[in-house]
Amino acid sequence: MIELGDIVRGTRALRFVVVEFVQGPNASTFARLHRRDSEFTVSSFTQDVRGLTLVERPTYQPDEKVTVNGQAGRFVAIRDDGWAEVFMAQRVRKGIVLPAAPARVPIWLLNFRFIFTRIRSACLRKSPCTARSRSQTQSSMALPTR
């Protein structure tokens, strides 16, 4: 049985994390799936749970190091409602020091680290690859000289 936060494979053969369950027509259950494509973009779609294959069910131990949106913290516990309690480390945002504090985050947000892939590696699987190398991109962005 698929649960919130599980890492699954769907019809697209990519790894996704289960974010929520939605009731569909004819009493069927659908899962909303998320996948982080890059540091700033997330793909999301909904699929019938009967078409999903469980890949991994991440588990966490108390006081284990975790990251939430790139911010360091320590895992405390999983609640019954699909949320995790995390103690976030002290951090600086826009010059303001935020003290260490407890936080409540969705468990699927912790599991993003299991499905993150880089754009370049995804590009290498395509044929032909339309992405340019970093040196090509930088040289094309250079200002013309006189």
Could you tell me the residue ranges of all domains in the chain? Answer: 65-106
The per-residue pLDDT string of the chain (146 residues; one tens digit each, 9 = 90 and over) reads 888 888 898 877 788 889 889 998 888 899 999 887 766 678 888 889 988 999 888 888 899 898 887 788 999 998 887 788 999 999 888 889 989 999 998 888 887 766 554 333 444 444 443 444 333 333 333 434 44
Alpha-carbon distances, residue 131 vs 42, 87, 117, 126 (angstroms):
19, 39, 16, 10
Contact 110, 96 (CB under 8 A): no
CA-based radius of gyration for the chain: 19
pTM value > 0.85: no
First to last CA, the chain: 66
Q: Which residues contact 111 (CB under 8 A, 6 or more apart)?
A: 5, 6, 7, 17, 58
